[in-house]
Structure 1
């Protein structure tokens, strides 16, 4: 019996069985019904027969795309020429085409930064053809978010398309940057940016601003996490990490590529890399609960939304509710972060990424001590209560943040790719924000800001990214245009309460909403708009002299236009408030920012030496006493070091020495305190070391050390030669060590522990008055059980109950317990 005859026989049996069932259920059938059933059976037989026949002559193609080192390549466009079919590789690099007619096909792989690949494939009846491909070109454009080092050092994922905007590996990049991966902060049950940043060398104790904003230290300078996917993504509010793939702490003045916006400081850039959709259905839901009524629910769902899986959607969301460890205070927040990607053609792709967050909470304690009397004092000895908040829960603020990020990539040719980016960020703050100002050694007054503030920023970028040869010399180049618009609105009052004794407060003393609203009625409102525009162009080229020796040369030209301050009450543009305290009208400044680097790979892909010169700047408004316009501040860095990636990625590390000099810093004119002069200099020098190790399967080590020596020179005698206040500790250490069982019945069970330590620092540091922040040693411990379908974790933060303060003298949380559970699907 032939295959076709066998199928016909089976179909007849199926149809016959159906008819018999109908007869038994209906009893005797009349002739008309019998004819109808016969007709239905013929139609059913024909339909099933045609379907089976179609399946017999159809087949499929499946395969896997890998990098040169065998690691999978995700989100690569795979097309089937002649069949008008297209798909993307999944996280494992796999792709497939089903229901194909037998015949010969051509499979096309379109990879950004690599030559188009076309391979023949033959589909046979009823069979699936396997067609794998492995790259023969070592570098591809990293903006495709390549998945690497998946099965070795799980906490070290260095390759990035954002740091240099070029297809550069970490060992080829003359700039230092640290990465904190999702795998690491998930294991640590790190539920906020402050906890995540503890893994960055030199970040220090995070400073929480009154509206939930968080900032860190970087090489002695304040740095905010205001870059998102490589461009400005400011958020003057709580930033929820629910959609974070990793944090990139890019070190040193980085104005050449990131400009002078809220994204960059003299110490560097904190870049938030968000989760992207992937080519499969999956996700997880999670819950974290802990001390002080902490409750957090998270959702992560990903799904393809078309048949060929070229349109992908991912949704991350989180709701968090927590009380303060102090006697009063709370924060409630909701974050929703959808992300959509679409491979429009094999050359053109679109990514749309949105962050929405709203929160309601009370201000954290911000204490500004009384510094009169020319004394040296420590916050630990001031008897300012560690566990007390002098404001009421009805003095709350509300914030809302909306960030929109859109990126379009187009493969112009084998050597050039176009990248167009639009970023739009909006933050609003409404309600009550406070600080406590010392009046004497034992008394203080609360300053409360009431009203609404909003910030809107728009960033448009066009990059052309190339990887080409001139003769035998390889060049990797980015040429870009950058437009940044900033618009701010202020509608708020400043009030000051009566003086109270914070050492021995009265039993009924508490600043509440009724008190502040009564004071607001007699206060002066600040009601104004201001804004600025920045236009920039930049170029950066990495030139390979040999396969192991390369140099980088980059330049940015930046035109800053300040629009002035529009007073809504008077209808006048009155200018901005300069650093000297005088008013200045609209003005413009032009700045040039160069960057040079050299890398020599002593051992190709294993060990490199590097050096760099980098520049940053800050636009400054106002004039001196003689009417001379101030120049932009400039920061210049020299840095030298070594990078290693050894033993099949099991040992990854960086060691560097840097020297930063900031010129044109303003200081108060000693002859007239109403004006400033521009001759101050700040020096910041130091050593940084980072290590991520996986000595053997299951054991992972993350460690860092940062030494920073900062001081003022050519400054006012009151601070000349001293370490700047708010620059953080001179010495900081961080580490995390964990071990998980890799096989057997207890596979996935693990334990981890770590700590953060810092030397003493200053909130105020002058020749006559000092407020010292004590050194700290804070240790954490975690236990986890990670399985394919679920993950459970227990975390104990600050297990020694250490008392510590941020640079704003905000008390940090004592010992805290967190428990987490996640279900994966």
Structure 2
């Protein structure tokens, strides 16, 4: 699917394409320097006789290879002991003696175990009418590795690799930047249905205004700065729809949070960091699961997930995930209903080529979020009339609504030229639709009970947003000047188009907070405004990871971006004025990792980011503003102990944001680009699987974020909104592995936030009080005997309590006067699930 051409920018687009083409040719040329084979090495093995599955896991770790095998093939088999120095092939051959299985090396990093004949394929062909058996296709290394990571994500809180930081398969310990991973196991054990619920486990992430179980948007603040639509990605592709519709975790395998400016690989964005959603993909072995969750506030939710092969040769794989939710909330008149479906298919086209096609549909419909907000007086400040209840609704329940739908379809094509060079091309097309009306809080009068309200909505049609994103990456591993290199080069094309819309303004009667009349209706229209926009982006990036020494690694890269924006605005469509702008930026990153011992990585990095200003604002001389620029310095230490069962990251960062707009001190109603903001602090993240059944995830962040330069004296040195100085979290679960309590488990967590500023704007500095929230959970997991009437393998039961002590607290704010959001009261969720 082609992108529309960049108007008034043909030369710039051509230059980007020529530079990208030259880089691709250069990388392909360098691939000829790479050796086609690696020397086989002798390793020390110490693997006792035990169940074969356990032996294969230990072998993979000791041989430093990836293992591919079907669970049903190794089930019930015992391995032979392997003790001594052998090549991997020799060791695996000894281990498999007497099992009837054979091994093969699919490439330099992958070994497979299978039956001597393709029994499954033959049986399938016979059932289809006696057709000849299909020849097994060697599974590409990229998919083998991906399958192994997905399996680990469901068993442990600890992740060893994350592709978001480098767009390559680089261990986290080798990345000179802070990156945290929330695995599927954390999501399931916490019953985290929204992104904001899962990312609460990550240091330096806080909620923005209107976020939570009753919110439409997922508003994140990362390292002190608001994350907007440019900061959300899905499988490495930009996903601007995500924030606007509130992603659900039913189809999420893991979340990867990269801290700091990410423009070097991901282009324009706010500087705090990015969130990359990794979705669940098809698997070669059949797996089926379903669960039902019931809770207070009339909460009902069900999920179904199915995956497996579509043909006997397992060259076509599928996955289907479905979720539905019907629920009220702790706020009067507010429902939070949802439905979603995500089908995907993977085609193993050859031994080195895979194609995955995904689609998903998500719909959320409920009342709009500004209506949920309450004034500061009565929530965080005293009110002469008394305290406001958490259930207070400040809108028009007979008129307010928010019906949001997202549609996505994408493909992801990967090809390995050989063991060292691979290419990936991925594309996504997404549509966001929303039909929304709402009355929003405006001002609280002197009597501290009369709330004025606003109404500005698109009443004439459904608002639509269209987005396209495509990347092509070439990755090569080669040796040059006696040093190992991992070279990445790529291009990205992106488009974000908001269909023109007309917003209608209406007067809304004021609300008496302590004697609300919900029968009031909005008045006649008083005016309209017209707007539409189209943003196109082309980027080229180049990155090299160099092993200067076995324990000293350098990373350097840059990205060139060209952004063309068109915005149309006015009071009506006839009076709309079109303005456009062209911006370019170069975003570099440099980093160094030193590993004094294998388990410890000391790192430092420097990077820059950018974000274009809209073409609707001008300097006093009539010229457009330059893009905002951000700069980050970071140093830290990463540790992986106890055979990678414990992972820690301790980081110090200094992050600045420049070229911000501020009031011109000389010319009224104009702005100048002299504003600055700074965020700095210390972050600690820990994940651990200490012993079998015991998992821990914990974090701490000290964040000092404030305005450092502004022409408005009232803003200078003000703390940025919704950013506490201190945030600390811990969540831990333990599942009994033996004895009379085998199958039972328990978990619990504490989430603590110190006070924070509601907003940098407005009079004074309204403080949101700090709070401590306690969660807990109980589990029962039982494997079912074969032949049971359900035909199920396992039953899972969970009982989760959020805010166990029913703490009353304000979660976030949007301004210092009238928009404060209460946190969720005590919530109980009971889940029953089956796995087949």
- Aligned with 2:350: secondary structure? coil
For 1:222, the equivalent position in structure 2 comes to: 226
Native 8 Å contact 1:369 1:439 kept in 2: no
Q: Deviations over 1:626-651 (max 9, x none)?
A: 22331111000000000000011222
For residue 396 of structure 1, report the CA deviation from its aligned partner: 1.5
Q: Report what 1:547 is aligned to.
A: 550
Q: What is the DSSP-based 3-state SS (H/G/I as helix, E as strand, rest coil) of the residue aligned with 2:667?
A: coil
Residue number in structure 2 paired with 1:665? 660
Residues 65-109 of structure 1, C-alpha deviations (whole Å, 9 max, x = no match): 9745468847x6xxxxxxxxxxxx5579979xxxxxxxxx99875
Cα deviation, 1:393-416, whole Å, max 9, x if unaligned, reads: 552121110122311001123321
Q: Quick check: 747-756 or 492-501, which moved more? A: 492-501
2:412 is equivalent to residue 410 of structure 1: no
Query: Shift of the alpha carbon at 1:330?
Result: 0.5
1:810 counterpart = 2:815: no
**2:389 paired with 1:388:** no
The answer for the alignment partner of 2:593 in structure 1 is: 599
| Residue in 2 that maps onto 1:86 | none
> Alignment partner for residue 449 of structure 1, among 448, 456, 466?
456
- Is the CA contact 2:340–2:361 (under 8 Å) kept in the aligned structure 1? yes
1:489 aligns with 2:482: no
- Note if 1:423 corresponds to 2:423: no
Give the C-alpha shift of residue 365 in structure 1: 4.7
Partner of 1:356 in structure 2? 361
Q: Which residue of 1 aligns with 2:764?
A: 769
Q: How does 1:78-227 map to 2 (within 5 A)?
A: 89-90=69-70, 110=106, 114=108, 144=146, 146-147=148-149, 150=152, 154-205=156-207, 207-208=209-210, 212-223=216-227, 226-227=232-233
Task: Classify 1:503/1:389 alpha carbon distance in 2 versus 1 (closer, same or farther; 3 Å).
Answer: closer
Q: Deviations over 1:470-510 (max 9, x none)?
A: 1421001110001111100242434454453544334xx11
Distance 1:549 1:456 in 2: 45
1:238 to 221, 243, 246: 246
**Partner SS, residue 171 of structure 1:** helix
2:630 alignment partner in structure 1: 635
> What residue number does 2:678 align with?
683
CA shift digits 1:13-62 (9 cap, x unpaired): xxxxxxxxxxxxxxxxxxxxxxxxxxxxxxxxxxxxxxxxxxxxxxxxxx
Aligned residues: 706
Residues 395 and 431 in structure 1, CA contact (< 8 A), matched pair in contact too = yes
Task: Report the more deviating stretch, 760-769 or 312-321.
Answer: 760-769
Task: Kindly report which structure 2 residues correspond to 1:548-587, keeping only aligned pairs within 5 A, or say none.
Answer: 548-565=551-568, 570=573, 574-575=577-578, 585-587=579-581
SS, match of residue 200 in structure 2: helix
1:618 aligns with 2:611: yes
Deviations along 1:275-296, whole A, 9 cap, x unmatched? 0110111111100010100000
* Displacement of 1:564: 3.0
Q: How far 1:807 moved relative to its partner?
A: 2.7
The structure-2 alpha-carbon separation of the partners of 1:327 and 1:378, relative to structure 1 and needing over 3 Å to count, comes to closer
Give the gaps of 5 or more residues in structure 2.
1-54, 76-100, 123-138, 784-793, 815-819
Q: Deviations over 1:447-477 (max 9, x none)?
A: 2333232211101111001111114210011
Contact 2:436 2:457 in 1 (8 A): yes
Q: Please report how far the alpha carbon of residue 146 of structure 1 lies from its aligned counterpart in structure 2 after TM superposition.
A: 3.6
Contact preservation (8 Å) 1:142, 1:167: no
> 2:368, 2:436 within 8 Å by CA — same for their partners in 1?
no
Quick check: which has more Rg, 1 or 2? 1
Aligned twin of 2:475: 465
1:328–1:393 contact (8 Å) kept in structure 2: no
Q: Distance in 1 between matches of 2:611 and 2:697?
A: 34
Partner residue, 1:274: 279
- Equivalent-residue separation in structure 2 for 1:563 and 1:823 (angstroms): 51
Q: SS at 2:721's partner residue?
A: coil
Q: Deviations over 1:238-257 (max 9, x none)?
A: 32210011111111111111
Q: CA RMSD in A?
A: 3.3
Give the match's secondary structure for 1:194: helix
The secondary structure found in structure 2 opposite 1:196 is helix
> Shift of the alpha carbon at 1:124?
13
Contact 1:72 1:93 (C-alpha < 8 Å) held by counterparts? no
Instruction: Please report how far the alpha carbon of residue 171 of structure 1 lies from its aligned counterpart in structure 2 after TM superposition.
Output: 0.5
Aligned-pair distance for 1:713? 1.7
- Answer whether contact 1:161 1:168 (CA < 8 A) is retained: yes
Aligned to 1:324, the other structure's residue is in SS state coil
Alpha carbons of structure 1 residues 562 and 259: separation in structure 2 relative to 1, 3 Å: same
The answer for the alignment partner of 1:537 in structure 2 is 540
Deviation of 1:64 (Å): 7.2
Q: Give yes or no for the alignment of 1:297 onto 2:302.
A: yes
Does residue 652 (structure 1) correspond to residue 652 (structure 2)? The answer is no
* Cα distance change of structure 1 residues 249 and 413 upon mapping to structure 2, 3 Å threshold: same
| C-alpha distance in structure 2 between counterparts of 1:92 and 1:693, whole Å | 29
Deviates more, 1:621-630 or 1:407-416: 621-630
Q: Distance in 2 between matches of 1:413 and 1:474?
A: 17
User: Which one of the candidate residues 339, 342, 354 is aligned to 2:344?
Assistant: 339
Which moved further from structure 2: 613-622 or 144-153?
A: 144-153
Is the Cα–Cα contact under 8 Å of residues 287 and 295 in structure 1 kept in the other structure? Answer: yes
For residues 20-59 of structure 1, the aligned pairs below 5 Å read none
- What runs of 5+ residues in structure 1 fail to find an aligned partner? 1-62, 77-88, 96-104, 129-134, 576-584
Distance in 1 of aligned mates of 2:719 and 2:294:
39
User: Could you report, residue by residue, the CA deviation over 1:141-174 in whole angstroms, capped at 9, with x for unpaired residues?
Assistant: 9973543894998111231223211121010011
Deviation at 1:727, TM superposition (A): 4.2
The equivalent of 2:790 in structure 1 is none
- Partner of 2:406 in structure 1? 401
Contact 2:502 2:531 in 1 (8 A): no
C-alpha distance in structure 1 between counterparts of 2:330 and 2:637, whole Å: 43
8 A contact 1:534–1:560 mirrored in 2: yes
| Structure 1 residues 720 and 707: alpha-carbon distance in aligned structure 2, compared to 1, 3 A threshold | same
Decide which moves more: 182-191 or 757-766. 757-766
Question: In the superposition, relative to structure 1, how do residues 397 and 366 fare at CA in structure 2: closer, same or farther (>3 Å)?
Answer: closer
SS of match in other structure, 2:277? strand
Q: TM-score, normalised by structure 1?
A: 0.79
The alpha-carbon distance between structure 1 residues 652 and 116, as it changes in their structure 2 partners (threshold 3 A), is closer
**1:181, CA displacement in angstroms?**
1.0
2: distance between equivalents of 1:456 and 1:233? Answer: 11
Other structure's SS at 1:265 match: coil
Is the 8 Å Cα contact of residues 294 and 301 (structure 2) preserved in structure 1? yes
What's 1:477 paired with? 487
Deviates more, 1:224-233 or 1:362-371: 362-371
Can you list the C-alpha shifts for 1:221-279, whole angstroms capped at 9, x where unaligned? 1225721111112222132210011111111111111111xxx4210001111101101
1:585-618 Cα offsets, whole Å, 9 max, x none, are 21101111001110011212x1100011121111
> 1:757 and 1:380 mapped to 2: Cα distance?
20
| 1:364 Cα offset (Å) | 3.1
Q: Which residue of 1 aligns with 2:265?
A: 257
